[in-house]
Amino acid sequence: MPILNRVGLFGGTFNPIHFGHLRTALETLEGFGLDQIRFIPAADPPHKDKTDLADESDRLAMLTQAIENNPSFLVSDIELQRPGRSYTVDTVKQFTREKLPSTQCFLIIGLDAFMDISTWKDYKEILNNIPLIVMSRPGENEPCMNRNFSGIGKYVENRISSGFVFNREQNAFVHKSLKPIYIFPVTSLHISATTIRQHVRQGRSIRYLVPDSVATYIHDKRLYT
Ligand code: ATP
């Protein structure tokens, strides 16, 4: 086993995994000098509409195939093994206290997910335990990525804690007692799993939006039709 100094935890529904996840994860790995990223599919995501949700085993299989050629990318089935809803706070505690207690872990999330974090269970507890890396993402929250991140700053101040201050050198909101929130601009890839599922339903190609192995899996298993 390699020595792990810095690990990124990247949770999501991955319904299915797409290049918007993969490319941005790679840029985050490089940008933060991470040794590994663990992709963590949610069993029962609290914030998602479940009508279109593929089985856990299918989402896990697609994820595993998508990352198999990258030794720095790993899948963790920790949320699939845990009964009940998949709360990030539980996953973070499991990793930082039990699984990787002497490794610096980071929680990686996209901007859209971050701008909703104050609705997550025990969100302050998350920030007590782990630094966040917020990746930019095209969409309605994109204006928040303006030059000094003032939109994000307002959200952080009003919804999380007024004790956060922006530190330009670190490109992060820092706090006396909570962990930092790093803001990380990545290549804008206007790709979402929702669009991919729509394309499949409409009989349109999803090639170049997802790895070929994922497109083949969806086709063979007739997912999202
Ligand atoms: P859906 O369209 O079904 O809501 P999604 O494409 O947002 O799904 P998720 O699995 O919910 O995919 O996303 C997991 C994490 O990856 C979230 O933190 C999300 O913000 C981030 N993410 C997803 N797609 C992108 C993208 N294109 N660029 C940057 N971050 C992304």
Residue pair 166/173 in contact by the 8 Å Cβ criterion: yes
Query: 189 CB less than 6 Å from ligand 1?
Result: yes
Residue 167 CA to ligand 1 center (angstroms) comes to 26
Ligand 1, atom 30, lies closest to the CA of 110
Query: 215 CB less than 6 Å from ligand 1?
Result: no
Burial class (CB in 10 A: 0-12, 13-18, 19+), 105: buried
CATH number of the domain located at residue range(s) 5-190 in this protein: 3.40.50.620
Q: Tens of pLDDT along the chain (225 residues)?
A: 678 899 999 999 999 999 999 999 999 999 999 999 999 999 988 887 788 999 999 999 999 999 999 999 999 999 999 998 999 999 999 999 999 999 999 999 999 999 999 999 999 999 999 999 999 999 988 888 887 788 999 999 999 999 999 999 999 999 999 999 999 999 999 999 999 999 999 999 999 999 999 999 999 999 999
Contacts of 208 (CB under 8 A, 6+ apart): 19
Query: 24 CB less than 6 Å from ligand 1?
Result: yes
Global pTM reads 0.97
Substitution site in 21, 132, 184 for ligand 1 pocket (most atoms within 8 Å of beta carbon): 21
Query: 110 CB less than 6 Å from ligand 1?
Result: yes
Query: 45 CB less than 6 Å from ligand 1?
Result: no
Assign 42 to helix, strand or coil: coil
Residue pair 39/25 in contact by the 8 Å Cβ criterion: yes
Calculate the alpha carbon distances from 216 to 197, 209, 211 in Å: 14, 12, 9
Residue 15 CA to ligand 1 center (angstroms) comes to 9
Dihedral sign for Cα 112, 115, 120, 122, please: positive
Task: Give pLDDT, residue 48.
Answer: 79
Substitution site in 13, 17, 92, 197 for ligand 1 pocket (most atoms within 8 Å of beta carbon): 13
Task: Give pLDDT, residue 1.
Answer: 66
Q: Which helix (H) or strand (E) holds 104?
A: strand 104-110
Query: 137 CB less than 6 Å from ligand 1?
Result: yes
Residue 74 CA to ligand 1 center (angstroms) comes to 17
Q: Which residues lie across from 104 on neighbouring strands?
A: 6
Buried b (16+ CB within 10 A) or exposed e, 199-209: bbeeeeebeeb
